[in-house]
Homo-oligomer: A and B are copies of this chain.
Amino acid sequence: WAKSSSSSHHYRLYLDGITLPSPGTHCNWTTWLGGLYHWTLRLPSRCGTRDYNPKQMAIREKVFNTIIGCFKRHGAETIDTPVFELKETLTGKYGEDSKLIYDLKDQGGELLSLRYDLTVPFARYLAMNKISNIKRYHIAKVYRRDNPAMTRGRYREFYQCDFDIAGQYDPMIPDAECLKIVHEILSELELGDFRIKVNDRRILDGMFAVCGVPDDKFRTICSTVDKLDKMSWEDVRSEMVKEKGLSEEAADQIGQYVSMQGGKDLAERLLQDAKMSQSKQACAGLTDMKLLFSYLELFQVTDKVVFDLSLARGLDYYTGVIYEAILTQNGPAPEAGEKGEEGVSVGSVAGGGRYDGLVGMFDPKGRKVPCVGVSIGIERVFSILEQKASAEKVRTTETQVMVASAQKNLLEERLKLTAELWNAGIKAEVMYKKNPKLLSQLQHCEDSGIPLVAILGEQELKDGVVKLRDVHSREEADVLRAELVEEIKKRIADV
């Protein structure tokens, strides 16, 4: 690193403000530059960014189409917000994670930071525009300055796909729809079997209270519980007791609860639980949990949903139901101790919950707008589908026909026919060579999966036809030029 960064400095100082030399005089320049670039040409690697190549983009487009299709099926609108916000807008929303926020250099004007998630900008948007209900999705990149030391194949720039329902409604109906959406998307993406853990911040807080956790320790104990998906109970317990100074009794009582998993039945049982039932908060959460499951039954998704008292979620702004979807098989195995983009173990592919207080924080009058939402851990989905696709061939273009010729001096005719096809809405390519070999034109079709070739020759031009070749079957047929467009559309539809 020392070498590379020192040469990159040298390079920067040297080139500052220079302009490209006028054409012709390049070569010596570029060779000279090459020497330096040899060290410096790279992406901001330690910042965990990456390029997407055409194959990755083709996969990404499929995934987005599936996800956006689901969001639209549920009647969502979409919005967009700037990539940077006022630094103060992000301040105090992410608890311990605030240190991961990217700041822009102060070049005059306001202090700016790159968005850390899409939820806080959404809340800012609602308050700023006095919107009291909306169902919206937002797909965009967010940025986190994760400690390079802990970065393991994790990106500092990554997509989030958020779906949120804002508004004052009857309890648990929008919450249930969010879970239905997770169920639909994960099923459609065919990532293998999955489970959706559900819990409620009020149940956690109530549990902490009845277990004798001091109020001021709720959040910190909560983030320790959050580690149960990658730490043993023993380790979690000792962190609570030794690091966070919780009493052993309290820790052990928590231990009994957080081991519990179930469904509606568990919620009912805990409502009868001698200790739990003492907490109003817990009872409110448990009653809603029962209601949530009754809606999930109507949506026929209870097969994948588990009420899990160990689910805590890191972020501070959750106030009610929280959930997290994890893959139970397939895909690359999550590295131990690994945390993914939603701040949960990488086994996780979606997470979210209810945050009724966030919008009020941005409203001059503290006007509250209850919100519930879900974020799809899309980068994890990409990497799984990329792995699956690594073997097979993925088309990166949609070209339907290649306009070719076997003889020389037909460039003009090829260009004319290609333009005819473009103007008719046909996806067509032509080689940028005066006299390309027919073989290389056919080879290009094989390589990029173009199904048809329209071949022109002196004879075809005389006869007013085009030789239409099926790349796969290699069959050729003369088609009247006037009927070519219709014939191509027919052939494509048949495929």
Chain A positions near chain B (C-beta within 8 angstroms) = 5, 8, 11-12, 15-20, 22-24, 26-27, 29-31, 33-35, 37-38, 40-44, 46-47, 49-54, 57-58, 60-61, 72-89, 91-93, 95, 98, 102-107, 109-112, 114, 124-125, 127-129, 134, 136, 141, 143, 145, 148, 157, 165, 167, 169-170, 173-174, 176-177, 180, 184, 201-202, 205, 215, 218-219, 281, 295, 298-300, 316-317, 319-320, 356-358, 360-366, 368, 396-399, 411-412, 415-416, 419, 422, 425-429, 432-434
Contact = CB atoms under 8 A, between A and B. Distances in A.
Residue among A27, A47, A85 with most chain B CB within 10 A? A47
A31 B427 CA distance: 58
Given A77-B396, A299-B419, A433-B170, A103 B104 contact: yes
B106 A77 contact: no
The 9 closest A-B pairs by CB, nearest first: A30-B366, A49-B82, A169-B432, A54-B77, A75-B429, A15-B92, A52-B80, A103-B105, A173-B432
Contacts of A320: 23
A109 B41 contact: no
B82 A83 contact: no
A104 B72 CA distance: 36
A106 B103 CA distance: 9
A181 B33 CA distance: 34
A127 B30 CA distance: 12
Nearest to A354: B23
21 contacts: A17-B98, A18-B92, A19-B95, A19-B316, A20-B361, A22-B219, A23-B202, A37-B127, A44-B110, A51-B128, A53-B79, A54-B77, A57-B80, A72-B398, A74-B422, A75-B427, A75-B429, A76-B397, A83-B157, A102-B105, A300-B419
B357 A23 contact: yes
Contacts of A281: 23-24
B205 A363 contact: no
B92 A17 contact: yes
Contact of A33 (B49, B52, B319, B361): B361
Contacts of A143: 83
Contacts of A109: 44, 46-47, 148
Given A26-B357, A105-B103, A429 B42 contact: no
Given A33-B366, A103-B107, A104-B105, A85 B15 contact: no
